[in-house]
Amino acid sequence: MSRTLDEALAWGWGYSGLRPHQRQAIEAGLAGQDSLVILPTGGGKSICYQLPALVGKGATLVVSPLIALMEDQVQAARQAVSAAALHSEIPLAEQRRIVEDYKAGKIRLLYTSPERLARSDLMQDLIEHPPALVAIDEAHCISSWGHDFRPEYRQLADLLQTLPAPRMALTATATPKVADDIVAQLRLRDPLRVIAPVQRSNLILRSLPRQNRGPQIAALVESRRGQCGIIYCRKRSDTLEIAADLVAQGHSCAAFHAGLPAAQKKETLTAFLQDRLDVVVATVAFGMGIDRPDVRFVVHAAMPSSLEAYVQEAGRAGRDGALADCILLHSGDDLRTTKFFIDKENPSQERRDSLEKALWNMVDYARHPSCRHRQISEHFGQSLEGGGNCQKSCDVCLGELKTMPEEEAIAITSACLELINDLDPRRFGRGHIAAVLVGSKAAKILKWNHDKHRLHGTLGGYAEKSLMQLIDQLESQGYVFSGRSNGFPVLELGQTQLDSKQPPLLVLTPSKASKQRSTSSPQVALEQKDHSLFDVLKSWRREIASARGVPAYVIASDRSLKALASARPTSRSELHQIHGFGAVKVEALADEILPLIQAQAEF
């Protein structure tokens, strides 16, 4: 190896140094050791297997489930190393040419899908011309304990058995149980475990009760107008409805779900990646590998079915390391709907139990007023640095949450205790309890004489819906649970004992807290005059990305454009000093960028 790793990194990618976890993973790969690499989104997983392709003894084979995005990954890698993708959507003649180039040593980085790898012709070629490293991207897909199990990943271990190369399994999210399962399923041999903290402190995490979805989302997007964001929905029809509302309010926005025509999906994805579209309202079909780095917010219009899925989806924000918002809107309806489908779709009791457990982890995160980063870290078997809370990166630590006054919380608890009675066949649901507390005179209240109940009207200042959400919080804390009686939803007492003197912690809709951290502060603060050059560079990037049919970040990241706008390089060697400008990129873009910067200086 003639170049040091850092020299190769500067030459190929224009970065000033490897991150510690990247170095460990790369060194293991080059030394022939298997590894399991768990780096959060934005942690820089691709360099871990791309750099060995540049400096190692042979090629790297990358197995990835993301056929649709392989081309983008190849385009991005080509700045540094000869790369190609091999999968079923590439014409046969082209596939043959790629394999010949690989065999001739002209391709150092070869992406393929598990299905394509399973074809005997390719395996035979690989056995005859073995790669020096095999990277398995999105490795959690191999585990049925994970949230994104793909059966076609299961055959990988047998296939890889015939190749002598060390294996590098990479993923962003794996609980300790999933990590062990990946090692076992892929038959990694005494692997080095490179595990970075899951906490990403540039993400500001918030969880809010969903009250009035349309206006709530409209307000969140309006206060981030012009920023790039993703809004995740559970239902396809919701994506259309919310996108239409936002378009009507003048936002650059489109819907995306698996049932839309292929051409429309492709156009939405391309426009988003080329920075021609700000907001996509999508189901999870807009999924893994959406690697636009400057996503400034991810809003969940409903709760996903596991915390792993939430971390993965919300984690698409802020890959560039600058501040970004992750906002979860949740309600008891999400819990009930998901539970309904778990029961309906899974005949096996064991599977139902495991899915329900995962769901409750999600619900606890959504409703429990303790540091959100700490909750996530603990879920993944880690603790936050210093063992405490994040201090300033979630709504709880920022002090944005307001809890219910003690005497009011006690009124709710007492109403539950007095109205939920196991021995009494007249069972009541949360709606009934809320109606008593607000002082409703509805027929159902009068029928049971509950207008005479001592707590009738005690919480008259609240909306019935808000009280129902507060009762949902009691459910997530184990005090009550939703059951059914004669087909009607009823509340029952849970395992944690309700105490009519000890108030539970109930979170009210967040105040517009003064301490809100803004996500608009760029990583490199720009002066006003540099801002206009940054805008010019952004529109140049948009044009060139469209013309070349590649994502904007393949041309240059926001961070690079900001660095250009403030440093204003005037020569090729100065351009090479800019973050993200490796030798190939300097050669490819200098003739366009330098005159553009020069022209701005003349104004």
Rounded CA gap, 272 and 266, in Å? 10
Question: Which H, E and C letters describe 417-447, residue by residue?
Answer: HHHCCCCCCCCCCHHHHHHHHHCCCCHHHHH
Three-class DSSP category at 542: helix
* Helix (H), strand (E) at residue 595: helix 583-601
**Residue-by-residue DSSP string for 129-197:** S--SEEEETTGGGG-TTSSS--GGGGGHHHHHTT--S-EEEEES---HHHHHHHHHHTT-SS-EEEE--
| The binder of ligand ADP chosen from 5, 39, 327, 507 (CB under 6 A) | 39
Q: Is the dihedral of CA 144, 148, 152, 156 positive or negative?
A: negative
- CB 504, min distance to ligand ADP, A: 39
Residue 45 in the binding site for ligand ADP (CB under 6 A): yes
* Helix (H), strand (E) at residue 491: strand 488-493
Contact 328, 303 (CB under 8 A): yes
Nearer to ligand ADP, 202 or 211 (CB): 202
Residue 166 in the binding site for ligand ADP (CB under 6 A): no
Nearer to ligand ADP, 80 or 355 (CB): 80
- CB 523, min distance to ligand ADP, A: 11
Residue 19 in the binding site for ligand ADP (CB under 6 A): yes
- CB 221, min distance to ligand ADP, A: 25
Q: Which stretch binds ligand ADP (CB under 6 A): 14-22, 247-255, 393-401, 535-543?
A: 14-22
Residue count, binding to ligand ADP (CB under 6 A): 17
Q: In the beta sheet, which residues pair with residue 134?
A: 61, 167
Nearer to ligand ADP, 21 or 373 (CB): 21
Residue 52 in the binding site for ligand ADP (CB under 6 A): no
- CB 48, min distance to ligand ADP, A: 8
Q: Is the dihedral of CA 181, 186, 192, 194 positive or negative?
A: negative
Residue 18 in the binding site for ligand ADP (CB under 6 A): yes
Q: Which of residues 551-590 bind ligand ADP (CB under 6 A)?
A: 557
- CB 239, min distance to ligand ADP, A: 24
Nearer to ligand ADP, 21 or 456 (CB): 21
Nearer to ligand ADP, 47 or 480 (CB): 47
C-alpha torsion 486→487→490→496, nearest 10: 90
Q: Which stretch binds ligand ADP (CB under 6 A): 34-42, 81-89, 216-224, 445-453?
A: 34-42
- CB 354, min distance to ligand ADP, A: 27
Rounded CA gap, 575 and 582, in Å? 9
Rounded CA gap, 208 and 326, in Å? 11
| The binder of ligand ADP chosen from 12, 29, 43, 504 (CB under 6 A) | 43
Q: Which of residues 318-357 bind ligand ADP (CB under 6 A)?
A: 319-320
Nearer to ligand ADP, 47 or 107 (CB): 47
Q: Which of residues 83-112 bind ligand ADP (CB under 6 A)?
A: none
- Give the x-and-dash track for 293-312 against ligand ADP (CB under 6 A): x-------------------
Q: Which residue is nearest to ligand ADP (CB)?
A: 44
- CB 22, min distance to ligand ADP, A: 6
Rounded CA gap, 281 and 319, in Å? 19
**Residue-by-residue DSSP string for 300-362:** ESS--SSHHHHHHHHTTS-TTSS-EEEEEEE-HHHHHHHHHHHHHH---HHHHHHHHHHHHHH
Nearer to ligand ADP, 8 or 156 (CB): 8
DSSP-assigned letter for residue 235: S
Q: What are phi and psi of 9, to 5 degrees?
A: -65, -45
Rg of the chain (C-alpha set): 27
- CB 364, min distance to ligand ADP, A: 26
- CB 27, min distance to ligand ADP, A: 14
The residues that touch ligand ADP, with contacts defined as CB under 6 A, are: 15, 18-19, 22, 39, 41-47, 291, 293, 319-320, 557
